[in-house]
Amino acid sequence: MLAWNVLVVLWGAYVRASGSGAGCGSHWPLCNGEVLPVAPRLGTIIEFTHRLMSGVALAGVIALWLWSRASFPRGHRVRKMALASFLLLIVEALLGAGLVLFNYVGNNASVGRAFYLALHLVNTLLLLGALALAAWYSGGVASARGHRSSGMSSWITAALPIAALVSVTGAIAALGDTLFPSATLAQGFHQDFSGAANFLIRLRILHPGLAILAACYFVAVSIFVLRSTPYPTARNLAVSVLILAVIQLGAGATNVLLLAPVAMQITHLLLADLLWIALVLLAVEASPLRAPRLAAKLH
């Protein structure tokens, strides 16, 4: 279910990058006023496919919730995460509907669309995190030590809002790249610092700087976990975070140099989702760490 929802997220990004968000017009849940679009154009097919995938995701999460209720006792973490996944997916569907009904699609370059996009992305991250934890807890991996759910160092936990912030700025940058594409890298830099440019372009410069700082933070935290805990699972997750953070930096640089082609945007988003999931799992798996020692290492 987690993998399917990641696929839905990636296809949603393709809908935005291909300019197909208005493929079903301003109708929801119908597509151009029809249950099944007749003689659809390409944009309609792309948008309608995303709606179908989202419907499958909803059915899957409902099944996950029902299964968790049948398989685990009241109050179990799997049941809590499955319920959270269901509720977050409902919110996800409503936010997706709002994009269409408020006309935050196509060439809309308003502040409202940017804010709505950020809200949508944060909910998506929470959904992926809940699904990841439901799978993690259901496998029994997180039951070997009783302190996992309450003993996290604040330094590791802080990586989550940092990652969310970077993802939000990345989504805004991607929207700017889609609506205001640059013919050359030099033209792109000129637009970034032009006072006459749309606010989406001027905000675009925030993402690379924040991404570099965040990657350094993730690498530092990962190294600290590797040096501080003997538990193989936590160490493996720390290695995953470290590797993904470095690869993500390289993908981001490539995306900028190639002027944000659609395929590179999707790859960049996939890496961001995988990094987020690894950070969430690390945040519940790593043993209690001494924050003062970590602070000393980071300084």
How confident is residue 140, by pLDDT bands cut at 50, 70 and 90? low
Q: Using the predicted structure, report yes or no on whether residue 120 has a pLDDT greater than 80.
A: yes
Beta bridge partners of 31: 34
Query: Per-residue pLDDT averaged across 75-79, rounded?
Result: 93
Q: Which residues partner with 34 through β-bridges?
A: 31
Is the pLDDT score of 132 beyond 70? yes
- Check whether 239 has a pLDDT greater than 90: yes
Does the pLDDT of residue 141 top 70, yes or no?
Answer: no
Q: Which residue has the higher pLDDT, 112 or 299?
A: 112
DSSP 8-class letter at 158: T
Q: Give me the pLDDT at residue 296, please.
A: 45
- What does the pLDDT average to over 212-229? 92
Report the candidate in 166, 165, 127, 145 with the shortest Cα–Cα distance to residue 280.
127
Average per-residue pLDDT in the chain? 86
**Is 64's pLDDT higher than 50?**
yes
How far apart CA 279 and CA 288 sit, in angstroms, is 15
Q: Regarding predicted confidence, which is higher, 26 or 293?
A: 26
Residue 259 pLDDT greater than 50, yes or no: yes
Task: With CA atoms as reference, report the closest residue to 1 among 120, 95, 122, 134.
Answer: 134
Question: Looking at residues 200-228, what average pLDDT do you find?
Answer: 91
Average pLDDT over residues 51-75: 94
Per cent of the chain over pLDDT 90 is: 53
pLDDT at 171: 92
Q: Domain residue spans in the chain?
A: 1-143, 144-299
Top-confidence range, 58-62, 113-117, 149-153, 179-183? 58-62
What is the per-residue pLDDT for 229?
Answer: 81
Phi first, then psi, for residue 288 (nearest 5°) are: -55, 125
Per residue in 263-282, pLDDT (tens digit) is: 999 999 999 999 999 999 99
The pLDDT value given to residue 144: 40
170-174 average pLDDT score: 91
Q: What confidence score (pLDDT) does residue 298 get?
A: 47
- Look at residue 290 in the predicted model and tell me its pLDDT: 43
Supply the pLDDT for residue 188. Answer: 76
